[in-house]
Amino acid sequence: MSRIAYVNGRYQALAAACVNVEDRGYQFSDGVYEVCEVRGGRLIDERRHIDRLKRSLAELRIAMPMSEAALGVVLRETVRRNRVRWGIVYLQITRGIARRDHAFPPPGTPPSVVVTARNMDLANAERQSSEGVAVISVPDNRWERVDIKSVSLLPNVLAKQAAREQGAREAWFVDRQGRVTEGSSTNAWIVTREGRVVTRHADHAILRGITRTVVLDVIKAHGLTLEERAFTIEEAQAAREAFITAASQIVLPVVRIDGKPVGNGAPGLVATALRRDFHLHAEAT
Ligand code: PLP
């Protein structure tokens, strides 16, 4: 089945879909995006993703291109046309098409909207979660507003590639104080030897993951102790467990950090329980 993309009002074959060369997303990475899990054909935590999208747009002074209801229809229609049962839907909004000039285009320039959706390999995801994954650490060389879900992802791309080249699944960014901020496309967590769950506080130095927000609810429901604070790579290597979270992966246990095993080198009980119960706390619409 050929995939379908929504591009500025039209559903087209993905292979033929394109954007204007003067789209500001293409020229300046002047845009934002969201990725939502699709499960059983339904969108997971759509409301939270749209709320975060509106915040990212407002921070960059890009207009919401259509009503929330209309956006919801486009997301669902793209999922339907691609027959996605379990996978992701991707939404990107840029500041639109204009003659190349760094400053904003004239008021009223319509933002560009692209939506794609695809199935994911469920068996592979389950295998990864049962085996756990490796992460490496890299210096955090991103700008100071990574709380905005902008499509400017070059440091993230380079970090992920470095991870791949070292046989790891993810790269954890480490700030100038030697503390982990987050992964290149995930939030970072540890479980201390005392059983406390630790993740960095959500300031401008991390993206406030929607999965992170829901996992905080699962942690509460399980009566676990939470600490929202920074931690170092050394603390993570000495922890009982580590894991990463993102909409496309939910909760994924981390079993190696910079080549050192975490805990007994196998997925931990807390990460496994949080993954198992995640969808009891997420919203499906
Ligand atoms: N941090 C970064 C840098 C990301 O790119 C992502 C997801 O793409 C996340 C965290 C996790 O966010 P979410 O749980 O909303 O997918």
**pLDDT level of residue 204 (50, 70, 90 thresholds):** very high
pLDDT at 1: 73
Mean pLDDT of the chain: 97
- Nearest 5°: the CA angle 224, 228, 232 is 110
Structure tokens at 14: 């993905």
Catalytic residue among 149, 160, 220, 260: 149
pLDDT computed for residue 285 by the predictor: 87
Percent of the chain whose pLDDT exceeds 90: 98
Mutate to test the pocket of ligand 1, among 36, 48, 185 (most ligand atoms within 8 A of CB): 185
Residue among 236, 183, 238 at smallest CA distance from 205: 183
Task: Assess whether pLDDT exceeds 90 at residue 267.
Answer: yes
The binding-site residues of ligand 1, defined as CB within 6 angstroms of any ligand atom, are 35, 182, 185-187, 207, 209-212, 245-247
Query: Which of the 8 DSSP states describes residue 110?
Result: P
This prediction has a pTM of: 0.96
Q: What is the atom index within ligand 1 of the atom nearest the CA of 187?
A: 10
Between strands 180-183 and 4-7, the pairing is: unpaired
59-81 confidence digits (pLDDT tens): 999 999 999 999 999 999 999 99
The pLDDT assigned to 68 comes to: 96
pLDDT above 70: percentage of residues in the chain = 100
Residue 46 burial class via C-beta count within 10 angstroms: exposed 0-12, middle 13-18, buried 19 and up: buried
180-183/170-174 β-pairing? antiparallel
Segment 94-115 shows an average pLDDT of 97
Tens digit of pLDDT for each residue in 205-260? Answer: 999 999 999 999 999 999 999 999 999 999 999 999 999 999 999 999 999 999 99
